[in-house]
Structure 1
Amino acid sequence: MLTVAVLISGTGSNLRALLEAADEPDFPARIVVVGADREADGFAHAEAFGIPTFLVPFEQFENRAAWGEELQRHLEVWSPDLVVLSGLMRLLPAGVVDAWAPRLINTHPAYLPEFPGAHGVRDALAAGVSETGASVIVVDTGVDTGPILAQERVAVRGDDTEHTLHERIKPVERRLLIDVVRRIGAGDLDLASFTT
């Protein structure tokens, strides 16, 4: 059984979907802990499923490296097979990435390598494209530059706002994430073959 740690910053909608999937008896993975870099509403989802949580508040550390060292200590306690970034709105220090990659994955609301970074949905609208998408990647030390594990196109409508487009991308992200975790847990997707 694949053990998974999930790191969040916000409401945890992807986390909730993954918890529900992992609650199914035939799902080949289970979430063992949820961590965050700030007080996150998504902790409520973990608590609802009886999953332990930990908090490593970024602002309490003098720099990103020190924060990363504490985050790494918490992850090592649980020794998960896979770490999922689920709306963690902070770049991980290279030391954390190096410790976990390629067993470190993230979702992104764009069809990478198109529109990387924190504003993928806004950037797609600003570019006037007719379609964008969602991606699941292996995290590397760049910004959304790691190997792509799964992705799917999402059409951009003429009346889309950043909010409406993002709301249509989110379910695709969730589905792709659940499928990737399922494939890893079932042995159908070997992360060791992806180098970062």
Structure 2
Amino acid sequence: MTRIVVLISGGGSNLQSLLDQCQTGSLDADIVAVISNRPDAFGLSRARQAGVKALTLDHTGYANRAAFDAALAELIEAQQPDLIVLAGFMRILTDDFVRRFPGKMINIHPSLLPRYPGLNTHQRALDAGDSQAGATVHFVTAELDGGPPIAQVEVPISDQDDAESLARKVLAQEHRLYPTVVDWFVKGRLRLDANQVLLDDQPLPKGGRLLDTASL
């Protein structure tokens, strides 16, 4: 069974969607540990409630980013994961860290990458007058939110939306998109080969696969 480690920094709602899928058997995987860089992250409580190992590695206890990343990599490797899932992990990872887990680490970002990497994605989409927002799951590389996209889902922006309402709409679709992509990996359908995303051994387009919300 595929062993998954989930990294979080906050509430862990995407973590909860994965825990739920594992519990029902919809996702044939084992979340072996949840690791947070913040001791007060509510996602740790979600893990404990599900009977999953909840670990804290407080980044404030390390002199610099490199030292924290080295300790985090060792902690992750001790869990022997097949896949590392970033679910609201609010840390910029060093090149050395990323190179230790090639093709084994994915992240979800609340925008239609390459538009709006980084923070404040929903307000930026509104300020630009976009008609669509969305979310992207991508493989993690050293470039911030710049790894090869795997899949995206679009969310329409209405005239009544503000950043908060748009965030809720996008997050609801994240909870459906992320387990779908994780399931592809678990079933051996998804892999990264020389920075090219392959699904069922076929190269995906540069922006990843655009999924209809009805198919999630």
Does residue 11 (structure 1) correspond to residue 14 (structure 2)? The answer is no
1:190 Cα deviation from its structure 2 partner: 2.3
Structure 1 stretch displaced more, 9-18 or 182-191 = 182-191
State the superposition RMSD in angstroms.
1.4
Q: Report the counterpart of residue 148 of structure 1 in structure 2.
A: 149
Consecutive aligned runs of 4 or more in structure 1 exceeding 3 Å deviation: 191-196
Alpha-carbon distance between aligned partners in 1 of 2:195 and 2:127, rounded to the nearest angstrom = 32
- 1:166 alignment partner AA: A
Higher relative CO (Cα under 8 Å, sequence separation at least 6) belongs to 1
1:22 Cα deviation from its structure 2 partner: 1.1
1:26 Cα deviation from its structure 2 partner: 4.8
Equivalent position SS for 2:34: strand
Alpha-carbon distance between aligned partners in 1 of 2:189 and 2:150, rounded to the nearest angstrom = 12
1:192 Cα deviation from its structure 2 partner: 4.2
Alpha-carbon distance between aligned partners in 2 of 1:149 and 1:133, rounded to the nearest angstrom = 14
Where in structure 1 are there 5+ consecutive unaligned residues?
none
Do 1:8 and 1:35's aligned partners in 2 also have CA atoms closer than 8 Å? Answer: yes
Alpha-carbon distance between aligned partners in 1 of 2:122 and 2:80, rounded to the nearest angstrom = 34
Equivalence map 1:112-123=2 (5 Å)? 112-123=113-124
1:119 Cα deviation from its structure 2 partner: 1.8
Do 1:94 and 1:141's aligned partners in 2 also have CA atoms closer than 8 Å? Answer: yes
Alpha-carbon distance between aligned partners in 2 of 1:191 and 1:26, rounded to the nearest angstrom = 24
Do 1:184 and 1:191's aligned partners in 2 also have CA atoms closer than 8 Å? Answer: no
Equivalent position SS for 1:171: helix
- 1:168 alignment partner AA: K
**Equivalent pairs: percent with the same residue?**
36
1:105 Cα deviation from its structure 2 partner: 0.3
Do 2:4 and 2:33's aligned partners in 1 also have CA atoms closer than 8 Å? Answer: yes
Alpha-carbon distance between aligned partners in 1 of 2:126 and 2:104, rounded to the nearest angstrom = 32
Question: Which structure: greater helix fraction?
Answer: 1
Where in structure 2 are there 5+ consecutive unaligned residues?
198-216
Does residue 21 (structure 1) correspond to residue 17 (structure 2)? The answer is no
Do 2:10 and 2:43's aligned partners in 1 also have CA atoms closer than 8 Å? Answer: yes
Do 1:23 and 1:30's aligned partners in 2 also have CA atoms closer than 8 Å? Answer: no
- Using the size of structure 2 for normalisation, the TM-score is 0.87
Q: Report the counterpart of residue 2 of structure 1 in structure 2.
A: 2
Equivalent position SS for 1:190: strand
